[in-house]
Amino acid sequence: MKLLVIGGSNSVMAPGYVGQACVRIKEKSRQAPKLTNISVGANNCLIGLENLKELDGLGPFDKVVVEFAINDFSLATPDGFETWQCAYEGLLRHILRLCPDAQVFHLVLGRRAERKQEQTARIRDGMKQIVNHYKGHRDVRLLDFDGYLRKRLENDQARIEQHYSDDAHYDFENGIPLLSRYVAHHLTTEPLPASSTCPPPRHADVFDRAQLHRITEMPVGLEVRAFENTRFVRKASALKPGEGLAVELPGPLICLSFQSTADSRPLLVEEEGEAPVLFFTANAELKQTPDKFRIKNFTFEWKKWAGMARKGPRRVTLTAIERDDIPRFERFLVNRYNMVPGWGEGRGPYVSNLMYLPPAEAPEVVAARVGDPAAVA
């Protein structure tokens, strides 16, 4: 069995449900799965799509587990739900393009807090609609562990909470063992036959045709830094204040990936036809470990894709902002959980990729360095 896991921090944890499920599969079949795990914590499903595009050629796989229900809470909001639909279906279609015969399991994990059930239900319903659209053509399944756990415990909130270590993670004593048994059971089921054709997408602007523009490959003389840990190697270009980077994209910007450090500067994004956006790229949890980094992405989830009047070429300018200059651009600030102005003298920010939605006939991407940002108070 060749197994691919794409998800968030619950799929990264070691020892966690992924490792324990593999042990259980080996006990049952006498052969351990050949595991590839490209999960990244604290990111939505678009980082999964980006990782797949960065690692094309990995497959084919027999089984794929997609685990983003918890991570997509911030994306699958009433304001961002259309972007989530385009992103999640795009991830599935990209998987099916790489592995047309694979079983694809969409794992629904839930938050511990009872007040979060409405958000979990919104994501569950959205996933169910996408799965139902494809399951008659491909072996695509919904694994609702959150619903299974609540039914098993008769929706007793006190007992449910005993399976969590915090609001977003299952604990090692109760939650992970039960989750690993649940996942292992489904991974050992026999595959269903696939039809010869894949159905058309549910959404006209589904992100399976999204493209990555790699900032590190742009011939503009920026310092390129390699970030490496035991699981990933990521390259990123270090932007400098006062030296904006202008990119002519063939279509609208979906998201931007960057490498977060303790001292990375804020980033200003000016996309033609859109309001400027300022966001922090330093992570609060890295203050005590300044030698480490986090793979992060920033999604422009408020965009309305079906009603977007102009989807053609546009200029996107990226500018590093010194912390002392934040007040000049504060009206453009979009806060994200655990992201802060940073510490130290300030470096970067470190930008890796722009993901954009191209038209059917996409022109070549070009770039140039520019001066001060246009969006000055």
Per-residue pLDDT band at 376 (split at 50, 70, 90): low
Kindly calculate the radius of gyration of the chain based on its CA atoms and give it in whole angstroms: 21
| Banded pLDDT at 372 (limits 50, 70, 90) | confident
Residue type, 104: V
Q: Which of these, 138, 139, 140, 141, lies nearest to 197 by C-alpha position?
A: 138
The structure tokens listed for 263 are: 């001292």
Tell me the C-alpha distance between 32 and 164, whole Å.
27
Which of 157, 155, 169, 159 has its CA nearest to residue 41? Answer: 169
Model confidence at 205, pLDDT cuts 50, 70, 90, reads very high
**What pLDDT is attached to residue 363?**
60
Query: pLDDT digit string (tens) for 264-310?
Result: 999 999 999 999 999 999 999 999 999 999 999 999 999 999 999 99
What the chain holds in terms of domains, given with CATH numbers, is: 2-187 (3.40.50.1110), 210-370 (2.60.120)
Given pLDDT bands bounded at 50, 70 and 90, which one contains residue 59?
confident
DSSP element (H, E) containing 73: none
DSSP of 93-116: HHHHHH-TT-EEEEEE---SSGGG
Q: What is the pLDDT of residue 375?
A: 73
Beta bridge pairs of residue 282:
340
pTM of the model: 0.95
